[in-house]
Structure 1
Amino acid sequence: MIHFEDVSKVYENDGKELRAVDHVDLRIEKGEIFGVIGFSGAGKSTLIRLVNLIEAPSDGKVLVDGRNLAALPKPELRKVRRKIGMIFQHFNLLESKTVYQNVAFPLSLAKVPKKEIEARVTEILEFVGLEDKAKQYPDQLSGGQKQRVGIARALTTSPEILLCDEATSALDPQTTKSILDLLKRVRDQYNITILMITHEMQVIKEVCDKVAVMENGKVIEQGTIFDVFSNPEHPTTKNFVRTVMQDDIPASILKQVEGRAGGRHVYRVTFLRETAGEPILSKTAKNFDVDVNVLYGQITELQGVPFGNLIVELQGEDAEILRAIHFIQSSVAVKEVVADAG
């Protein structure tokens, strides 16, 4: 659906070059919710503006349905752009117009007949849960309601692609979740491909199928949500994942462990898929002469798949601990965090 082929975007300022997007290769398939995450200045906002040619690439190609947008004649480009909706961080609503008029605005510009506009706007307002707000003005709405108006407006032209530019960063956590649930319904009911940029890893975890991590204009890591969250490789990706998947041992607990006498080892145990429900640590304690102490961790879901990340301490003789670790490794991934024979 959307394909970035070795795409770069370079700006010039006082004779100096700023490479906002640097040789990016990405493929977003039809019907996916694809997230792009990065810190401020990573290049993600520039990247999303290349999709509808608000910004033209300096090098490479941006293909939408196999068509190079930069090579299209203006009439053809306008047709393609009508199939690309956009949702903004600060809503970009017309304050002097009602909710109904805001949602109808793209259709009015396209000179769609009044009866068709009325039918479409009524349908979309009902879909986003704002049918009772049609006559109200933006300043009478909450932030979440304003964003629902923005989503409704983007949907009126029956887009095939929806671009979300930090669409939830101005919202509180509860409202953010409701908007993300709405975006999932948009994808599922209308089969719309969604490309969203954000600096919040929780947003990526909640709604996306795949993610790309950007830094200094480059994509430094990409993959499915499950793969990236369960096994992040780049340090920046690991930092993002830690914001929603806490796996560092609290200093107070680590101090207690380090102060104990006798043989002990601390490990990170990763449970994937069906193993998340298996009593592996309980079996270890029963079958081997070791004490198993869970220090820290959590069990969560990634794309509906159970994922567990636990920090455990094994106490006992080194040889017996080694046997226990081999047993655990037969079912799940194990990585040593701290080793101290005392």
Structure 2
Amino acid sequence: MIEFKSATKVYHSGGKEVRALDGIDLRVEQGEICGVIGFSGAGKSTLIRTVNRLERLSSGKVIVDGQDLMALSPKDVREVKRKIGMVFQHFNLLNSKTVFANVAMPLILAKQSKAEIQKRVTELLSFVGLEDKANQYPDQLSGGQKQRVGIARALATQPSILLCDEATSALDPQTTGSILKLLKKINREYNITILMITHEMSVIREVCDRVAVIEGGKIIESGSVFDVFSSPQTETAANFVSSVLNDSIPESVLELVQKENAPGRIYKIRFVGASSGQPLLSQVAKRFDLDVNVLFGNITELQGTPFGHLIVELIGSESEINRALLVMNGENVTVKEVAPHAS
């Protein structure tokens, strides 16, 4: 478990005060995968680095497995850090060392026996699918293979927490997918709590249980992935969600529709769960004196629940459109006007 309580980090530069973290309150439960997303400079890297004391808070608390890192002695902090693994964006491997030696490094520093190191490293390389790369060097590996080495190294000391600092940002989409599957496997099989930071909402959707949105050193929104994706409460969260769900009508389509003179209006319809499979628009078109023009749409799955958007043009009299809206809003869908038809 990781908990931030009023976590604040202040830097002083050129006589000015910069608040990288400004009173962060966030809790990550044991066995959970939590993602923190934000734009560059939002404070997410500083936040994750306070968990393993690469950064020290100016005030507030970081509690790891019930222990307040700010109150521990240097010796006790080192003990806690042994249970925290970290995966870096650019791998941080030693190019002069073999894959085996890179993974073994934390165990060597912990003064494990050669037999224990041999056994543990062999197990980990098999787990990440690199058992045939033990004697190769990082320069001989692809980016995805390098990150698998980094993950194996982070797991060497059997941590209870894994920190991922933009772990997929340097990888292509296909490789990113394979690394995220590996992280989910680690979480499931080892019950390791994972805290990851990213600027990619697709990563959050794929792997996380919960998400927190950070902006200006503050958590501006947090919740389950489903709740934040299906109903973002802030403009920043909505922009991140739109970058993945692609739920906005293309401007070219909107311009074409608005050139028409029919008395239509454009609406975004959000479907959740069972409502995603209902022939709602067909029923509305039959029941009311309306033409329904589907302009854009998609459907996806969030944490096992179907979720989708349709953007439609309802063409007809204002009274018929209003009657149709009353019916649709009672069918476990959300209807929001996108733009009125140009007259």
TM-score (norm 1): 0.97
Greater shift, 189-198 or 236-245, is seen at 236-245
Report the counterpart of residue 122 of structure 1 in structure 2: 122
Amino acid at match of 2:340: A
1:281 paired to 2:275:
no
Report the counterpart of residue 200 of structure 1 in structure 2: 200
Residue 340 of structure 1, CA deviation = 4.0
CA RMSD of aligned residues (A): 1.2
1:5-24 matched pairs, under 5 angstroms: 5-24=5-24
1:251-266 matched pairs, under 5 angstroms: 251-266=251-266
Report the counterpart of residue 156 of structure 2 in structure 1: 156
What CA deviation, in whole Å up to 9, does each residue of 1:15-74 have, x standing for no partner? 211110011100000111111111111110000011111111111111112210111122
Report the counterpart of residue 143 of structure 2 in structure 1: 143
Q: Find the residue that maps to 2:293 and give its secondary structure.
A: strand
Amino acid at match of 2:246: Q
Report the counterpart of residue 303 of structure 1 in structure 2: 303
| Distance (whole Å) between structure 2 residues aligned to residue 156 and residue 280 of structure 1 | 53
Report the counterpart of residue 34 of structure 2 in structure 1: 34
- Contact 2:33–2:209 (CA<8 Å) still a contact in 1? yes
Amino acid at match of 1:326: L
Report the counterpart of residue 74 of structure 2 in structure 1: 74
- Contact 2:258–2:342 (CA<8 Å) still a contact in 1? no
Q: Find the residue that maps to 1:26 and give its secondary structure.
A: strand
| Distance (whole Å) between structure 1 residues aligned to residue 92 and residue 338 of structure 2 | 48
1:229 paired to 2:247:
no
| Distance (whole Å) between structure 2 residues aligned to residue 77 and residue 59 of structure 1 | 17
| Distance (whole Å) between structure 2 residues aligned to residue 187 and residue 118 of structure 1 | 24
Amino acid at match of 1:171: L
| Distance (whole Å) between structure 1 residues aligned to residue 176 and residue 342 of structure 2 | 48
Report the counterpart of residue 328 of structure 1 in structure 2: 328
TM-score (norm 2): 0.97
| Distance (whole Å) between structure 2 residues aligned to residue 128 and residue 337 of structure 1 | 46
Report the counterpart of residue 64 of structure 2 in structure 1: 64
Amino acid at match of 1:191: N
| Distance (whole Å) between structure 2 residues aligned to residue 96 and residue 44 of structure 1 | 31
- Contact 2:265–2:340 (CA<8 Å) still a contact in 1? yes
| Distance (whole Å) between structure 2 residues aligned to residue 233 and residue 182 of structure 1 | 31
Identity %: 64
Amino acid at match of 2:309: N
Amino acid at match of 1:226: F
Q: Find the residue that maps to 1:326 and give its secondary structure.
A: helix
Residue 316 of structure 1, CA deviation = 1.5
Report the counterpart of residue 100 of structure 2 in structure 1: 100
Amino acid at match of 1:87: V
Report the counterpart of residue 316 of structure 2 in structure 1: 316
Residue 341 of structure 1, CA deviation = 8.4
| Distance (whole Å) between structure 2 residues aligned to residue 341 and residue 56 of structure 1 | 56
1:112 paired to 2:112:
yes
| Distance (whole Å) between structure 2 residues aligned to residue 340 and residue 261 of structure 1 | 8
Residue 170 of structure 1, CA deviation = 0.5
What CA deviation, in whole Å up to 9, does each residue of 1:94-142 have, x standing for no partner? 1111111111111111111111111111111111000111111101000
- Contact 2:259–2:342 (CA<8 Å) still a contact in 1? no
| Distance (whole Å) between structure 2 residues aligned to residue 97 and residue 126 of structure 1 | 19
Greater shift, 252-261 or 104-113, is seen at 252-261
Amino acid at match of 1:112: Q
Report the counterpart of residue 270 of structure 1 in structure 2: 270
Report the counterpart of residue 294 of structure 1 in structure 2: 294
| Distance (whole Å) between structure 2 residues aligned to residue 24 and residue 90 of structure 1 | 27
**Tell me, which stretches of 5 or more residues in structure 1 are unaligned?**
none
Amino acid at match of 1:28: V
